[in-house]
Structure 1
Amino acid sequence: MNLTHLRYVVEVERLGSITKAASALYMGQPNLSKAIKELEHEVGVPIFKRSAKGVVPTDKGKEFLQYAKAILVQLDKMEALYKDNIADTASFSLLLPRASYVTHAFTLFLNRLSDKKAMDIKIKETNSMETINSVVECEYDLGIIRYPIAYESFFLPLLEEKNLAVHDSWQYDYVLIMSENSPLAQEKEITEEVLEKYIEVLHGDNIVPNISEVYQKKSADFHRPRRHIYVYERGSQFDILAACPESFMWVSPMPQEILDRCGLVQRRTPLISKTNKDVLIYQSSYRLSVTDRMFLEELERVRNEITE
């Protein structure tokens, strides 16, 4: 199989047009069309079909393109190893939920890379569905997704369907965080009725499309109507919580160092159960690098410190 042909079909999918792809690849459209037909003949399935929107992958084509992208990403990484001194280079990419324990682990991980002469590192905080799609498209190597435990029977089949590997997971109960000056911090017992008096801060883009009514009923208690503030950036939530004593937020357990820095406290809620799971995902063909494993070591260490 010609690797150049793989790059051709990936470019056609990206642009949705053979004409545009040919221009981007600096080649003639007839030659590109011929190369695609040769590849389709070789694999035995049509990769693209024409639609009102242009050229789109067939169902089998989508599956083929996912493997093609993974192969090309691995090939590029392999070539990079021999262009630079691997001992002096760190490459790492991660999509993550807005989780302070993960970003804390990331900063500790960065400190371990301080002796590297070259670094190519990118991280992005986003929701679970965008993380899944971006890892499938090979835009990032690793992703951490978060979901309520009631949604697990939705997410695990989805990850299998997308040919994604699940390497690591952490199941925990949400905790409440609030200003250290909040009256809520002094409550002896925190119940749903007590929380009705306060303002809940939520992330506004943690949506899960195509969730059926069955799943929605399972987690109906997770979305009780209250006074809400929707935020889309993690720094904003800490500013609001610190400055507005009536506000609170449900989060994964946080490192004490961050709580102290932001003037916040966290409370566990034995009377309110909100169990979640954070799961590390990546392409099934991807092999964790030394740098990846270094980050996972720090992640595990931070988790252990929180749960002690």
Structure 2
Amino acid sequence: MNLAHLYYFAKLSEIKNYTAAADELFISQPTLSLAISGMEKELGTKLFTKKRGVVEPTENGEAFYQYVSASLRMLENGIDYICEQTGAMNRSITIGSVYSAQGRQWSALLNAFRTKVGPDVQINIMQNTTQGALRNLKRGRNDVAFCGTMGNDPDIESLPIWTQEAALVVNRRHPFAEMESISLKCLKNCEVISYNTDGPIGAELSALVDGFNIDILRLYSDEITLCSLVAANPDTVAIACRSWLLKSFEDDVVVLKIDEAPKDFHRLYMSYRANIAHPQIVRDFIEIARGFDFSK
């Protein structure tokens, strides 16, 4: 097994098709197949199974991919770091983010970053859920991530940046649409939807509605889905984080203040990997974010 084989394995894990993966790697399909077979023989386990024209990582294959992808990214970061020391500086950064984080404050931070480091920096954005963004961060696919948190993780450093308030989203044809604010007591007999229990907002939502005897369908992970379902059904209301995304549906929904909801209902963080030597461009971004005033 060599370094090229690890790149082959990672690409096949991501694309899940031998022909497409071989094309992107600029090798023949038999070469890729032979490399994967050799890895499986060396490791003593199957890494992939074939299902309806695609290949899927086995349980061991998925676990191995997490280590391989993180290792390859660490290697690339190490190469970038050495290049910086010798004058061949890398000028790109990959940022993972949940959709709701990409509002006015986000844009102002990116502008401050470009102003300091220069306009030639390449900023790559990978949109995802909190779980996906943090997973990509640990695998090395993101340099930093703007999202919630899934609890303490010794491999990740998280800097609190701003908070989001909980709000009630109602259809414009709903009786509540004439109100500006509402108590959770009024939702007892309503058809309420909100975030799933195992996501980053699950515990915060449970704490908010505790003691109000509200029956909530908790299946969703983002504000776009919640708003679209409210817009489609006048009888449905949603408890959602107040963000710029809600304004996209203002023709169809009204957003009400929840009397019992604290202003810091949900906290967003900038996270990055701890205990590694980041490339200079990433260090610059983290430094700017640490000193940035997100309250403006």
Q: Which residue of 2 aligns with 1:49?
A: 48
Asked if the contact 1:142–1:281 (Cα under 8 Å) also holds between the matched residues in 2, the reply is: yes
Q: Report the CA distance shift for 1:104/1:294 in structure 2 as closer, same or farther (over 3 A).
A: farther
Secondary structure of the residue aligned to 2:27 is coil
**Which residue does 1:2 correspond to in 2?**
2
Identity %: 15
> Kindly tell me: are residues 168 and 220 of structure 1, through their superposed partners in 2, closer, same or farther at Cα, counting changes over 3 Å?
closer
Contact (CA 8 Å) 2:167, 2:242: kept in 1 or not?
Answer: no
Instruction: Give the counterpart of 1:278 among 265, 268, 273.
Output: 268
Task: Quote the offset at 1:219 in angstroms.
Answer: 5.1
**Residue type of the partner of 2:69?**
K
> Is it true that 1:247 corresponds to 2:266 in the alignment?
no
Distance in 1, Cα, partners of 2:112 & 2:255: 34
How far is the alpha carbon of 1:287 from its aligned partner? 4.3
Relative to its length, the structure with more helix (as a share) is 1
| Residue pair 1:97, 1:144 contacting (<8 A) in 2 also | no
The CA distance in 1 between the partners of 2:90 and 2:4, in whole Å, is 30
Q: Which one of 126, 129, 141 corresponds to residue 131 of structure 2? A: 129
Name the structure 2 match of 1:221: 209
Query: TM-score scaled to structure 1, two decimals?
Result: 0.58
Q: Name the counterpart of 2:224.
A: none
CA contact (8 A) 2:148 2:267 kept: yes
Contact 1:89-1:117 within 8 A present in 2 as well: no
TM-score (norm 2): 0.60
Q: Structure 1 pair 15/171, CA: closer, same or farther in 2 (3 Å)?
A: closer
The one-character-per-residue Cα deviations of 1:145-197 (angstroms, maximum 9, x if unpaired) are 326xxxxxxx33xx86xxx832014398753689xxx974xx8xx7434799x
Point out where structure 1 has 5 or more consecutive residues left out of the alignment: 148-154, 251-268
Q: Which amino acid aligns with 2:109?
A: L
| 8 Å CA contact 2:164, 2:242 repeated in 1 | no
The answer (yes or no) to whether the contact 1:106–1:298 under 8 Å persists in 2 is: no
Stretches of structure 2 that go unaligned for 5 or more consecutive residues are 169-177, 217-234
How far does residue 235 in structure 1 lie from its aligned partner after superposition?
A: 4.5
Two-structure CA RMSD over aligned residues (Å): 4.9
Displacement of 1:8 = 1.0
Residue 294 (1) aligns with residue 284 (2): yes
How far 1:297 moved relative to its partner?
A: 3.7
Instruction: Letter of the 1:108 partner, please give it.
Output: L
1:25 aligns with 2:34: no
Q: Within 1, Cα distance between the matches of 2:119 and 2:293?
A: 29
In structure 2, distance between residues paired with 1:51 and 1:112: 45
Q: Which residue of 2 aligns with 1:104?
A: 105
AA matched with 1:167: E
